[in-house]
Amino acid sequence: MEQAPYTNQDLDVETRVEDLLARMTLDEKVSILKGKNFWVTPPVKRLGLPSFGMTDGPHGVGPHSSGWRKSTYFPTSISMGSTWNPEIARTFGEALGRETRASNRHVILGPGVNIQRSPMCGRTFEYLTEDPFLNGELAVAIVEGVQSTRISACVKHFAANNQETRRMSVSAEVSERALQEVYLPAFKAAVTRGNAWSVMACYNRVNGVFGCENHDLLTRRLRDEWGFTGFVVSDWFATKGTSGAASCLNAGLTLEMPGKLKNKYKTGQVIAAVQGGDVTMATLDEHARRMLRAMIRTGLLDDPARVPAGVKNVPAHHEIAKKIAMEGMVLLKNEGNLLPLDAGNVGSIAVLGPNAGKKHGMWGGSSQIRAQHEITPLAGLKKRCGTAVSIVKNPAGAGAAIVFVGLNHRPGNDSEGMDRKRYDLPAKQEELILDTVAANPRTIVVLVNGSPVGMERWIDKVPAVLEAWYGGMEAGTVIAGILFGDVNPSGKLPVSFPKQLADSPAHASPETFPGGDKVFYREGIFVGYRHFDTRGVEPRFCFGHGLSFTTFGYSDMRLDTTTVGAGGTVTATCTVTNTGTRPGAEVVQCYVRDVEASVERPDKELKSFAKVHLQPGESRVVSFTLGKEAFSFYDETKGAWVAEPGKFEVLVGASSRDIRLSATVTLA
């Protein structure tokens, strides 16, 4: 018998898809647009098409969605955001792809690229940053890494899903300019540059329309403007509030998940909708085509020996988890160079606080991970200290005291389905910090959490603070490594830490967060540092901030031109030197300020960055090439991106508030 073209893996994807589609009955096409159960689509046995499977989530393969097995527990996304390192993001994506394959799934439900609009969003830890540019750079790298293993990334949650309160119904009332400049860029980059094979539609409504039946998002932007060739899957149960299958199918929602339970894509009803003309055959075919394309892209019909092999829980992946933690932890404060501690000299350390011995992997909602091992801070310290340093409980008289505070994944903290209840740390933790520092001035606070926390009650009294985030399975090893100087921290905050919640732009009133039936994004584009820097509000720690055990000098800023013409670019170069005594890495950040604009623009916007690793005394020339996009804003009256002629400042620095060099360029 002749081989059917769709099974021939030497043919191109589109030929195979069309061949397979042409062989399918209406029933069969409809059957693959919904789950068979929670995680997989039904097989089409007649054609030898197996089930196609999905699994959570953004920082490792979730046990709940792939047979309760163990997998590598990578640091959570905010930690990845703090690395500012697309290379690590790509390597991580590849490892995640291989773990997904080893779990018998074809889609990993991540990355999560919703903007960190408020510190109180329960899922801030699952998202990367408050900045659209950093978000896009990391998202593209993760998507490319995952898909290099022929596993589909699934960029979520499209769009404006920036809170958990009433997530199944709330309407994010957001301006077109804010969508274009803040909330959509990472989705767009993941599709146009990363060629993401799938996108997850959000639970919430966007300007009144549910993500799952939002033609404007799913068809006009995603398909028509961005050229998306993949499939859109509903967030789990997100079709619930929609007006039904026809509306979702016509809007561009391909796959409804999960299956069975009260779903809208009921075979009989979808077929009736097609036969009755509510959904055209062309629309249905297009959805089936998109599912088949994903199946063929991910090797569902191929000889496993010719598909990138799956592997999970291997030392190489654990090593990547460790690397992300090493580059993702952020040294927020280090007065008098209290850190690093000298293991040969300190004698003893007091270890205190609720997060010293706590594991976090198995919590966190859909992004939970069943880790093969998870090194707690205490375990990491015990190993590092060995017999050289004794670990005690009483801070008084100890060589230093380390207090592990922060949050956890319990409801009301960093958790899915509910937003945080309190911006400051629990009062008991604040008291523990204050008592400890009163007993021992050499107190270091280590924060283990996934979103900004208030520190005003204690920050001025404490000399050193390390933001460790949820650092994955090797968190404790890395924390101990930083505290004792084996690891030089190089993370930078991907999000601003307001002093108090009222300073946060999303928290102007209850209508702006969490809202009721609607939540009003009245701050518009002024999210994160765009707000703090433009409105002159001082955050506790600014976007891009992070210290090192070495120091970096910035010099010799040059532009290759002072005038940029239509279609032109400007390249800024500068020299960065490690002026200290330890090897270290610096994230060199390049912002643009529009000096004269016809609309209100942020004080500055991140447009490029580079992470450079330097030996003591070593210098590196860093360059940033800026094209028209770097100077543009979204003009609502014209309905287009516009780069206005005039002066712009190119600012280069170590954080959004530590600008070291600048130069002026004119857009002709």
Name which of 367 and 656 has its Cβ closer to ligand BGC: 367
Taking the complex as a whole, the smallest distance from the CB of residue 238 to ligand BGC amounts, in Å, to 8
Q: Does 56 bind ligand BGC (CB under 6 A)?
A: yes
Residue 467 within binding range of ligand BGC, rule CB under 6 A: no
State how far the Cα of 650 lies from the Cα of 623, in Å rounded to an integer: 12
Report the C-alpha gap between 323 and 328 in whole angstroms: 8
Residue choice 24, 44, 109, 402 for contact with ligand BGC (CB under 6 A): 109
State how far the Cα of 109 lies from the Cα of 126, in Å rounded to an integer.
12
- Based on the shown chain and the rule CB under 6 A, indicate whether residue 57 belongs to the binding site for ligand BGC: yes
When the beta carbons of 72 and 655 are compared against ligand BGC, the nearer one is 72
Q: Pattern 242-271, binding to ligand BGC, x per CB under 6 A?
A: ------------------------------
Q: How far is the CB of 366 from ligand BGC (least distance, A)?
A: 4
In three state form, how does the secondary structure of 257-295 look?
Answer: CCCCCCCCCCHHHHHHHHHCCCCCHHHHHHHHHHHHHHH
Q: What is the identity of the amino acid at 130? A: E
Q: Which is nearer to ligand BGC, 83 or 366 (CB)?
A: 366
In DSSP terms, which residues pair with 152 in a beta bridge? Answer: 107
For ligand BGC, give the closer residue by CB, 236 or 513: 236
Is the CA virtual torsion 32, 36, 41, 44 positive or negative?
negative
β-sheet bridge partners, residue 541: 497
CA-based nearest residue to 569, from 607, 622, 626, 623: 626
Q: Is 369 in the site for ligand BGC (CB under 6 A)?
A: no
| Window 117 to 176, contacts with ligand BGC (CB under 6 A) | 156
- Min dist CB 417 to ligand BGC, Å, is 7
Which of 198/655 has CB closer to ligand BGC? 198
Comparing CB distances to ligand BGC, the nearer of 71 and 490 is 71
Residue 270 Cα distances to 135, 262, 380, angstroms: 37, 14, 55
**Contact mark string toward ligand BGC, 192..231, x via CB under 6 A:** ----------------------------------------
Distance CA 151, CA 341 (A): 43
- The span from the CA of 468 to the CA of 500, in Å, is 21
Q: Which is nearer to ligand BGC, 167 or 223 (CB)?
A: 167
Q: Which of 56, 131, 235, 419 is catalytic?
A: 235
Confirm if 488 and 363 have CB atoms less than 8 A apart. Answer: no
235 binds ligand BGC (CB under 6 A): yes
Element (H, E) at 176: helix 176-178
Integer angstrom CA distances of residue 47 from 13, 51, 57: 17, 12, 30
Q: Which residue is nearest to ligand BGC (CB)?
A: 366
Name the amino acid, one letter, at 121.
C
For residues 42-52, one letter each, b for 16 or more C-beta atoms within 10 angstroms of the residue's C-beta and e for the rest, the string is bbbeeeebebb
Single out the residue of 410, 468, 460 nearest to residue 430, CA to CA.
Answer: 460
The answer to whether 407 and 453 are in contact (CB under 8 A) is yes
| Shortest spacing between CB 91 and ligand BGC, in angstroms | 23
Using CB under 6 A, pick the residue from 66, 103, 116, 366 that binds ligand BGC: 366
Least separation in angstroms between residue 153's CB and ligand BGC is 12
- Spatial separation of the C-alpha atoms in residues 275 and 382, rounded to whole Å: 68
507 forms part of the interface with ligand BGC (CB under 6 A)? no
Does 602 interact with ligand BGC (rule: CB under 6 A)?
no
Q: Quickly tell me which residue has 């309407």 as its tokens.
A: 171
Parallel, antiparallel or unpaired: strands 584-594 and 605-614: antiparallel
Distances in Å between the Cα of 57 and the Cα atoms of 66, 76, 324 are 11, 10, 17
CA distance 479 to 307: 37
Asked if 238 contacts 211 with a C-beta cutoff of 8 angstroms, the reply is yes
Q: Which is nearer to ligand BGC, 113 or 654 (CB)?
A: 113
Nearest distance from residue 240's CB to ligand BGC, in Å?
Answer: 12
Smallest gap from Cβ 159 to ligand BGC, in A, equals 13
* Least distance between ligand BGC and beta carbon 369 (Å): 13
Q: 57 or 546, CB closer to ligand BGC?
A: 57
Q: How far apart are CA 70 and CA 355, in angstroms?
A: 23
Strand-pair category, 198-201 with 152-158: parallel
**Backbone angles phi and psi of 81, in degrees to 5:** -60, -35
Cβ neighbourhood burial of 590 (10 Å; 0-12, 13-18, 19+):
buried
Least separation in angstroms between residue 211's CB and ligand BGC is 11
**Site membership for ligand BGC, residue 107 (CB under 6 A):** no
E strand map for 273-389: 330-334, 348-352
Q: Minimal distance in Å, beta carbon 233 to ligand BGC?
A: 9
Which residues, in sequence order, are bridge partners of residue 610? 588
Cα–Cα distance, 630 to 647 (Å, whole number): 13
Q: Pick one of 226, 236, 513, 633: the residue that binds ligand BGC (CB under 6 A).
A: 236
Min dist. Cβ of residue 202 to ligand BGC (A) = 8
DSSP state string for 407-427:
--SSTTSS-TTS--S-SBPPH
Closest to ligand BGC by CB, 235 vs 256, is: 235
For the question of residue 235 being annotated catalytic, the response is: yes
Residue 188 interacts with ligand BGC (CB under 6 A): yes or no = no
> Which of 173, 235 has the CB closer to ligand BGC?
235
> Are the C-beta atoms of 618 and 632 separated by less than 8 Å?
no
Number of residues that bind ligand BGC (CB under 6 A): 7
CB of 515 to ligand BGC, least distance (A): 19
The answer to whether residues 139 and 186 touch, using CB atoms and an 8 Å cutoff, is: yes
| β-bridge mates for residue 112, sequence order | 156
Q: Which residue has the tokens 């002072």?
A: 562
Give the nearer residue to ligand BGC in terms of CB position, either 203 or 526. 203
Question: Residues 74, 96: contact at Cβ < 8 Å?
Answer: yes
Footprint of ligand BGC (CB under 6 A): 56-57, 109, 156, 235-236, 366
Active site amino acids: 235
